[in-house]
Amino acid sequence: MNQSVVVVDYGIGNVFSVCNALKQIGAEPQLTRDIPTILQAERVILPGVGAFGRAMDALRGFGLDEALGSYVATGRPFLGICIGMQVLMDSSLEFGAHAGLGFIPGTVERIPSVDKAGDPLRVPHISWSKVKPATGVLPEQWQSTPLSGDEDHQEFYFVHSYHSKPSDASNLLAVVDHGGNDVTAAITKDNIVGVQFHPERSGLAGLNLLGRFMGSL
């Protein structure tokens, strides 16, 4: 199996941590913002931390918004991580209104600041948490994604104040509990998967997820 994967370098965050995690599972990551290299890649990962608007400014500044759209249209596997997941949406309300890549219809909104009883919750949401399939996700659908596995023992590392809200419920793949509220943990559409948590900081569970993504061809 070909173990090559492009990690998009657009100056936003945790690219070296992602590359190191990929190397741990035997993958061969190529960190680049070179558009021809991205377009020819067999797999692409878009990582990122920070604010939505800054991430989109960087992507547009390097011409990567159009390049990623062309790559996604090939049908080859694509994984977005944290901000790299959020920018897949149409827009965000973080620090004003910002347009996203529009690969998955919907918005990015602030996570709830109160629990189901009305008591205040800590925002940002920082935790090691289990995720579960979103309502309506069938077992066979779940098993075909990188999140498949022993869900009862998989905890992932979250640190975020906003989450993706797909317009179409079929694009919501997984949720995480935040004070009794279901907060988006993962989204999907066709060849795209996005995760809000950080697999590169999630120990064995994160490495297993990256391994399943690498086996998605």
In sequence order, the 6+-apart residues with CB closer than 8 A to the CB of 73 are none
Nearest by Cα to 9 from 89, 91, 64, 71: 64
Residue 8 vs residues 103, 164, 173: alpha-carbon distances, Å: 17, 21, 23
SS3 category, 105: strand
Query: How far apart are the C-alpha atoms of 99 and 55, rounded to whole Å?
Result: 11
Point out the residues that are catalytic: 82, 198, 200
